[in-house]
Structure 1
Amino acid sequence: MHRLFVALRPPPAIRDTLTDVMDGVAPARWQDDEQLHLTVCFIGSVDRPVAEDVALALSSLSAPAPTVALSGVGRFDQRGQTGAIWAGVTPHDALAALHRKVDQAMIRVGLEPEHRAFLPHITLARLSRGAGAEAEVAAWLARHAALSSQPFALTHLILYESHLGHAGAAYEPIARWPLE
């Protein structure tokens, strides 16, 4: 089985900006440079023939390259505790349109549509349940609330395979396609 997702990768200068703010929450597992991406569609575990169909469907997708900027930070809450810390991006319109196109392509392949609301973000850190870092997270969020950048283009759609291990997930780019 192949655990797949479709994402956009920020340019090196933006990844450097993100790396510069990734500290100050002791129990957080901060992402490394190779893990920084904006998920467009999580596919999940599929067998090889479906993975090949996914790649074929994505290769024929035509969409403009979204231009966005970093815009603030936030967290995902899991039962009252922070599960992830993220950097926001705006504007959302082009990203949402791309998400819909990818989702429709996956439906044509025979996969279930995405049921979660699409919130464009770049995950910076993950925290284990019971990490007990809510005060550190709140201080980090306040310290970096004004995170921003100049606009940047997300020029390639990338199909990744996620390999789960004891140290977390490792992401392997499988294929990439230029956006217009």
Structure 2
Amino acid sequence: MTINTHFFFALVLPDDIKAYLNAVTEQLKQDFPFKKWLHPADYHITMAFLGNAPDTLKEDALRRIENELANEGSFGLELGDIGGFGKSESPRILWAGVKQQERLFAIQRKVYNSCIEAGFELDKKPFKPHITLARKFGGDSPFSLESVRQIANLEDKQFEAVQVALYQTHLGASPSYEKIFTINLQK
């Protein structure tokens, strides 16, 4: 176990959606100075953040999640709106959302509960599915989410959710996240 790393379970996004979101962020970069724009390979939807996790707990969680998702089928999702976390004039996170889909919430609950049963102490905030695009707004004038939405319209972009993965973070690297184990949903 590396001290300076952390792990999380996430829904894997298809490459075409990552490319689409990257094209959107390329349009936004010129007008919205965030300090860090994520590498397109790093786009995902976090389901459970584990932190710096001991191997025994990770292995237990993996076994439980594999068991829970063994009969789960793939399902459709659709990109939603763009939003921000933090102060409206200076957000810490710019994200792309997905439209409400109960299957996503059901899968996330199975992943989350499996991690709790394995012994992890997880964040208790409600699940807000999102894809982080950028971090730490650094502009001189206040940020305008309305201006972002005028440039980036994510409507009608659908995709199939087919995989959940355990990721490891490599701080300072780009891309920063490495899939270390994947669980395929039934097709």
TM-score band, normalised by shorter chain: 0.7 to 0.9
| Cα displacement (A) at 1:96 | 0.9
Unpaired runs of at least 5, structure 1? none
What is the alpha-carbon distance in structure 2 between the residues aligned to residue 179 and residue 72 of structure 1? 26
What pairs with 1:20-59 in structure 2 (closer than 5 Å)?
A: 20-22=23-25, 23=29, 24-59=31-66
1:159–1:176 contact (8 Å) kept in structure 2: yes
**Cα separation, 2, equivalents of 1:70 and 1:60:** 28
Q: TM-score, normalised by structure 2?
A: 0.83
Pairwise CA RMSD? 2.3
Change (3 A) 1:150 1:78: closer
Percent of pairs identical after alignment? Answer: 29
What are the superposed Cα offsets for residues 57-90 of structure 1, whole Å, 9 maximum, x if unpaired? 2222222323111111001115963001011111
Does 1:14 find its partner at 2:17? yes
What residue identity is the alignment partner of 2:67?
S
Asked if the contact 2:89–2:144 (Cα under 8 Å) also holds between the matched residues in 1, the reply is no
Change (3 A) 1:86 1:133: farther
The answer to whether the Cα contact below 8 Å between 2:39 and 2:174 also exists between their aligned partners in 1 is no
Amino acid at match of 1:4: F
Q: Which stretches in structure 2 are left out of the alignment for 5+ residues?
A: none
Q: State how far apart, in whole Å, the 1-side matches of 2:139 and 2:171 are.
A: 20
SS, match of residue 34 in structure 2: coil
TM-score for the superposition, normalised by structure 1 = 0.86
Q: Does the 8 Å CA contact 1:162/1:169 hold for their aligned counterparts?
A: no
